[in-house]
Amino acid sequence: MAPPSSRSSRTRGPNPAFTPISAAGYFEQALQVAVPESGLEFRVYYTAPKAEDGAVMVCHHGAGWSALTFACFAKEVTRQSKGECGVLALDMRGHGKTTSQAQTPADKEDLSIDTLTTDLVNLISNIFKDPASTPTLLLVGHSLGGSVITRASPLLQERKYRIGGVAVLDVVEEFTLEALPMMNSLLDSRPEGFNSQEEAIEWHLNTHAIRNPDSARVSVPSIIKENPHPAANSFPWVWRTSLRATAPYWTSWFTGLSQRFLSAKTARLLVLAGTERLDKELMIGQMTGKYQLVVIPNVGHILHEDDPQHLAEVLVEFWRRNERLTVNIKNLKKVGEA
301 is catalytic: yes
143 is catalytic: yes
237 near 221, Cβ under 8 Å?
no
Burial class (CB in 10 A: 0-12, 13-18, 19+), 237: buried
4 vs 15: CA distance, rounded Å: 22
170 is catalytic: yes
Among 8, 38, 66, 143, the one annotated catalytic = 143
323 vs 157: CA distance, rounded Å: 16
Name the DSSP letter for residue 10.
Answer: S
Angle value at C-alpha 187, between 240 and 96, nearest 5 degrees: 20
265 vs 336: CA distance, rounded Å: 9
Name the DSSP letter for residue 196.
Answer: S
Three-state SS for 49-117 is CCCCCCEEEEEECCCCCCHHHHHHHHHHHHHHCCCCEEEEEECCCCCCCCEECCCCHHHHCCCCHHHHH
DSSP code per residue over 293-310: EEEESS--S-HHHH-HHH
217 near 232, Cβ under 8 Å?
no
- Choose among 91, 84, 208: nearest CA to 138: 84
Among 60, 95, 142, 301, the one annotated catalytic = 301
The residues that bridge with 137 in the sheet, in sequence order, are: 56, 163
CA distance readout (Å), 20 to 109, 222, 305: 28, 10, 15
Q: In sequence order, what are the residues at sequence separation of 6 or more whose Cβ sits closer than 8 angstroms to the Cβ of residue 27?
A: 45, 46, 47, 71, 74, 87, 89
- Choose among 54, 42, 65: nearest CA to 124: 42
Among 91, 110, 170, 306, the one annotated catalytic = 170
Active site residues: 143, 170, 301
